[in-house]
Amino acid sequence: MDNILSAKNMAHQPAPVRRSGRNTVIPGKGLPAAGQSDPLMAKQKNNTIRATLSEEVASFDAHLGGSPLNDPTGAIGPNHYVYAFNRGFGILDRAGNVLLPEASLTTIFPGEDLGDPIVVYDNYADRFIIMEFSNTPNSILIAVGQGPDPVNDGWFTYRFNTNEFPDYEKLSIWSDGYYLTTNKAPSGGLGTLETVYVAERDKMLTGDPNAGFVGFQLAGAASSGFYSPASFNSTGATLPPVGTSNSIIYLQDDAWAGVSNDHLKMWNTNINWANPGSSTISQPIEIPTTPFDSVFDNGSFSNLSQPGGGQDIDALQATVMYMTNYRRFGTHNSVVMNFVVDLDGNDDLAGIRWYELRQTGDGQPWTIYQEGTYAQPDGLSAFCGSIAQDAQGNIGLAYNVVSTSVFASIRYTGRLANDPLGTMTLAEKVSVNGDSQVPGNRFGDYAQMTIDPLDDMTFWHIGEYMRSGGAGVRKSHVVAFKLMPDTPDTEAPTAPANLVASGTTDMETTLTWDASTDNIGVTAYDVSQDGVVVATVATTTATITGLTAETTYAFSVVAKDAAGNESAASNSINVTTDAPDTTAPSIPANLTASGTTNTQTILSWDASTDNVGVAEYDVSQDGVVVATVTETTATITGLSPQTTYTFTVAAKDAAGNTSAASDSIRITTLDNGPGCLNGAELPYSESFEADFGGWTQDTGDDLDWTRDANGTPSNNTGPSSADDGSTYVYVEASGNGTGFPNKRAILTSPCFDLNSATTAVFSFRYHMFGAGNFGSLDVEVSNDEGATWTSLWTRNGNQGNSWQTGTVDLAAYVGSGIQLRFNRVTGNTWRADAAIDSISLTAAGGPGGSDCASGDLTLSVTFDNYPQETSWAVTDAGGTTVASESYSTANPDGSTVSETISGLAAGTYTFTISDSFGDGICCSFGNGSYTLSSSAGEIVSGGEFTTSEATSFCVEASTVRLETYALSDLDAGNNAFKIYPVPAKNILNISVGKKSIQNVEIFSMYGQRVYEGAEAQINVSSFPTGTYFARITGKDETFVTRMFSKE
């Protein structure tokens, strides 16, 4: 891996804050009651323990500590162990030898190393995934390995905005996405914020910048204030079939407000990437449990005693620990999970409540198959657990222990699939012993158990422990162990029954059979074709492809278990494939054209029929195929004005059979005419949220523009998110000879009719961040339907890692129809991804009136909880700031100020509002907003943005600009100064006693200065009715403020 930034000398920052909402624990509420033991603890203590049930295959330290909190996560792959800790990551071989020294997370995510990193290994794609959170802006950052080698293959990186901060995030793998859960506990209730997210796995694995991202709220959830649900993580040989709902699960403790009985709560997802907005999450499903007490010290983060009288450490209550592992067996699906509980009702002894849930098939209800409470046999607290199942259904559980005599250490246990339900039967094993106090109360937060992809049997666990060195050093330790039965499993599964075939065509058939049974569990089925295994599946169905037409095949199925035992073969069936499809579809009929303009036409026709099915239609223009579509309509673009074209359509099926061509039709495009035919409506705006919005790619250039919702695939270039909404367009520059050097990409606007305009301005946001030899970006205009183009604006080179505002005055082109285009030419580097967003064109004049502001401009700003982060500016077309303001802590949180801007000459301007923290003024920390308006109406309003939001507009001539002052800076002391009469109507008198007046300033109630002078009598007759403040300065430099009203 190139450009590694060493983690060795990183400055260790405080651990990320665990954010807790309003505490909803009710002291004394719930069962078991105070002083009562966990009802499942006795079952664990009384069970038979096996002493020789496990084999330890690896044990080594990973991260060697130094940060205030490691937050250890890690995953095993075929050849690597990748682990992460706060601010960094490392890569080892399977024996713990270093392959990649510890490196900063900024190596993968430039400038981003806030923390809480997660590592998973996607066994189904042979890729490692690394995730962390960000607050610049609030986002999830995900890196997907470009290949199986995390050291050398590079990463596809993504940023997905989450609006609120995604604290304590967790990641899991499913067939339709990467699932994320977060800790968000707003005062308005858990159901008011998105806490579950899904990223589009298939596209991320290929580096597609258009990977989708959807979020869900969890209706009906309660918590103790801290909030940590979990999503199912697929393990084993087979992913759930596409379309299988994933589930989100969370404990519900009757000690919490709003919870009557202890239970698990579950929500099921339905993801539709073809139309992400239609994705849904179900209402909650309740699964009753044996009573438990998950509350320690009324929700405090200081709970478990440690040796030497150190501060009590966090038990990680109200948290479904990482990961909640799902596995498919031949007869059922299974999930295991765990969380910490209070064993004795006195808040000083912790144990682990664990569950195995099962469903008999996809879509069937989940029920508790077994539940248990693991109590450490020597009376130590056990907490921070991680749990998983192997291919045989055995369960491994690893965890931390601590007490007043034992420092924080790591141990593990487990059970075999056929052991008594609800018990861990393996004698506890020591992974590593700690010998030092935990400084402070924070410990662990994460631990993680993954399954070895090579044998699907070995458990790999990473956790945190304390080793002496100064005040104690936090270290991450990895242990790998395998569970072994007392006697080998030699019992084979039963033979699969009732093998049948369906859906047979000339090239494939689908086989189904009844599930086999096994003393431990069926893990897979081998499907044989003419005596040769052609497929291995975990379910009771298989589709066999690549067959030859009119050929007979013999099929049978054998069941296998994890020990390698194989059943007898199922019944054998003969399947004869169909004759090849040689029938062509019928000819498309009734071809017609509509909506013909000077550059395009819309074709439609009646659907063809076929003996199997029509796959697509080829549309030909003057004998050449110009479009292939699956529907019975096609829009043909790029035509020339006043030109006649001939069109036909032919239908095709999946076998490649093509119909004869339809009857032809001739269409003649319209003349350009004066102005702009079918021009875009003004005022115009486009942020590329749904599509390219009428902007078209040039066919004679080298590269295309691409819509993107997150960071571009290349590191250290391109934006991390859109300027407006979630999508922008950019040009990917990577690939020597492909994306650079001197490669051109042109994006052309729809036509804009400025025939009736008197002024017009085009504005946009651009992002040009990368290497110095970045290349150029031009805005060009044409008023002759694209025959010639003139450059109006250009930028060259690296412009910095932020969105900038571009403004183009179109006054020279009013009175005509125009098109605009972005002309991007790359330099001689791959680090040169240029992006565009937030396009607008406004104009004044014409029969519809003016789009421009008139008179004074009024800006109203309501602050969030951090007014000192807010500022704004108005710049003219030349980039000169003509009005601006920034605010401070003197402005109360949530207060509102009003600003008046006047005296602007007629022309074009840009208003930019900024937030220095990067989270806008709504809605993460308060509900701020802003509105800029004039007598002509609202210009722009908003509040939800990241670092800044810019809007271009035009104005007509106004009057004198008013300056703004902060009224809170004015002193109200000194009674020698008097103002009368109050209220004032015409003349305001000022009396200063024996002092003399040096200066008088009068301000409106919004802080605008409306008068300045040194007179003792001031004519206020022209002042609007309202409240005012007079600031009076004497020659001795004392000053006072007096409030008065004007009738």
Q: Mean pLDDT across the stretch 236-253?
A: 93
Q: Mean pLDDT across the stretch 1-24?
A: 43
CA atoms within 13 A on the CB side of 680: 21
If one compares 336 and 902, the residue with the highest pLDDT of the two is: 336
Is residue 28 left, alpha or beta, with left meaning phi > 0 and alpha meaning psi from -120 to 50? left
Q: What's the rounded Cα separation, in Å, for the pair 621 and 604?
A: 14
DSSP string of 520-566, one letter each residue: S-EEEEEEEETTEEEEEESSSEEEE-SPPTT-EEEEEEEEEETT--B
Confidence of residue 186 (pLDDT cuts 50, 70, 90): very low
The architecture of the domain spanning 967-1046 is Sandwich (2.60)
Residue type, 933: S
Q: Mean pLDDT across the stretch 392-402?
A: 95
Q: Does residue 1006 have a pLDDT over 50?
A: no
Torsion of CA 176, 180, 184, 185, to 10 degrees: 70
Q: What's the rounded Cα separation, in Å, for the pair 385 and 339?
A: 7
Residue 46's pLDDT is 85
Cis bond upstream, residue 32 (ω within 30):
yes
pLDDT one-digit tens code per residue, 75-87: 999 999 999 998 8
If one compares 231 and 770, the residue with the highest pLDDT of the two is: 231
Residue 260's pLDDT is 87
Q: Cβ distance 599 to 650 under 8 Å? A: no
If one compares 656 and 996, the residue with the highest pLDDT of the two is: 656
Q: 901 - beta bridge partners?
A: 857
> How is residue 776 written in tokens?
């150029």
pLDDT one-digit tens code per residue, 150-182: 999 999 999 998 888 888 899 999 999 999 999
CA atoms within 13 A on the CB side of 37: 10
Q: 350 - beta bridge partners?
A: 342
CATH number for the 589-668 domain, one of 1.10.10.10, 2.60.40.10, 3.30.479.10, 1.10.3720.10?
2.60.40.10
> How is residue 516 written in tokens?
């086999």
Residue 972's pLDDT is 38
Q: Cβ distance 236 to 538 under 8 Å? A: yes
Residue type, 909: Y
Q: Does residue 737 have a pLDDT over 90?
A: no
Confidence of residue 1045 (pLDDT cuts 50, 70, 90): low
Q: 857-955 has which fold?
A: Immunoglobulin-like (2.60.40)
Q: Does residue 963 have a pLDDT over 80?
A: no
Q: Cβ distance 840 to 763 under 8 Å? A: yes
Confidence of residue 690 (pLDDT cuts 50, 70, 90): confident
If one compares 410 and 34, the residue with the highest pLDDT of the two is: 410
Q: Does residue 1020 have a pLDDT over 60?
A: yes
Q: Does residue 253 have a pLDDT over 80?
A: yes
Q: What's the rounded Cα separation, in Å, for the pair 715 and 108?
A: 8
Instruction: Tell me how far apart the terminal alpha carbons of the chain are, to the nearest angstrom.
Output: 74
Cis bond upstream, residue 137 (ω within 30):
yes
Residue 849's pLDDT is 40
Residues 6+ apart with CB under 8 A from 241: 175, 362, 539
> How is residue 775 written in tokens?
């290349």
Q: Mean pLDDT across the stretch 674-693?
A: 78
Parallel, antiparallel or unpaired: strands 532-537 and 522-529: antiparallel
Would you say the CATH fold of 497-576 matches that of 41-483?
no
Residue 850's pLDDT is 47
**Three-state DSSP class for 944?**
coil
Residue type, 72: P
- Helix boundaries (H) for 602-695: none
Q: What's the rounded Cα separation, in Å, for the pair 671 and 596?
A: 11
The torsion angles phi and psi of 541, rounded to 5 degrees, stand at -150, 150
Residue 336's pLDDT is 98
Class of domain 684-844 (CATH, top level): mainly beta
**pLDDT over 90 percentage in the chain:** 48
Residue 1035's pLDDT is 59
Strand extents, DSSP E, 943-996: 948-955, 978-980, 987-991
Residues in the chain: 1047
Confidence of residue 304 (pLDDT cuts 50, 70, 90): very high
How far are the Cα atoms of 247, 718, 854, 901, 904 from residue 959, in angstroms, in the given order? 62, 42, 10, 9, 7
Query: DSSP secondary-structure letter at 783?
Result: S
Residue type, 86: N
Residue 290's pLDDT is 95
Instruction: Note the Cα 977 to chain centre separation in Å.
Output: 60
Q: Does residue 575 have a pLDDT over 70?
A: yes
Residue 11's pLDDT is 41
Instruction: Tell me the domain boundaries of the chain.
Output: 41-483, 497-576, 589-668, 684-844, 857-955, 967-1046
**pLDDT over 70 percentage in the chain:** 86
Q: Which helix (H) or strand (E) holds 481?
A: strand 473-483
Q: Does residue 188 have a pLDDT over 50?
A: no
Confidence of residue 444 (pLDDT cuts 50, 70, 90): confident
pLDDT one-digit tens code per residue, 698-725: 988 999 999 998 888 887 789 988 988 8
Confidence of residue 14 (pLDDT cuts 50, 70, 90): very low
Residue 960's pLDDT is 28
Q: What's the rounded Cα separation, in Å, for the pair 296 and 314?
A: 9
Residue 470's pLDDT is 52
Q: Does residue 124 have a pLDDT over 90?
A: yes
If one compares 455 and 471, the residue with the highest pLDDT of the two is: 455
pLDDT one-digit tens code per residue, 524-548: 899 999 999 999 988 899 999 999 9
pLDDT one-digit tens code per residue, 483-498: 976 667 889 999 999 9
Residue 970's pLDDT is 33
Q: What's the rounded Cα separation, in Å, for the pair 506 and 525?
A: 25
Residue type, 282: S
Confidence of residue 24 (pLDDT cuts 50, 70, 90): low
Q: 41-483 has which fold?
A: Methylamine Dehydrogenase; Chain H (2.130.10)
If one compares 957 and 303, the residue with the highest pLDDT of the two is: 303
> How is residue 655 written in tokens?
């076998």
**Three-state DSSP class for 41?**
helix
Confidence of residue 37 (pLDDT cuts 50, 70, 90): confident
If one compares 183 and 971, the residue with the highest pLDDT of the two is: 183
Confidence of residue 854 (pLDDT cuts 50, 70, 90): low
Q: 172 - beta bridge partners?
A: 179
- Tally Cβ neighbours within 10 Å of residue 934: 21
495-506 b/e with 16+ CB inside 10 Å = b?
A: bbeebebeebbb
Q: Mean pLDDT across the stretch 16-24?
A: 45
Parallel, antiparallel or unpaired: strands 230-235 and 324-328: parallel
pLDDT one-digit tens code per residue, 769-823: 987 678 999 999 988 778 789 999 999 888 888 888 888 888 888 877 889 999 9
Class of domain 497-576 (CATH, top level): mainly beta
Mean pLDDT of the chain: 85
Residue 555's pLDDT is 97
Confidence of residue 256 (pLDDT cuts 50, 70, 90): confident
Rounded to 5°, the CA angle 410-413-415 comes to 160
Closest CA to 136 of 894, 768, 920: 920
How far are the Cα atoms of 93, 96, 202, 296, 460 from residue 57, in angstroms, in the given order? 13, 12, 34, 36, 9
Q: Mean pLDDT across the stretch 385-389?
A: 98
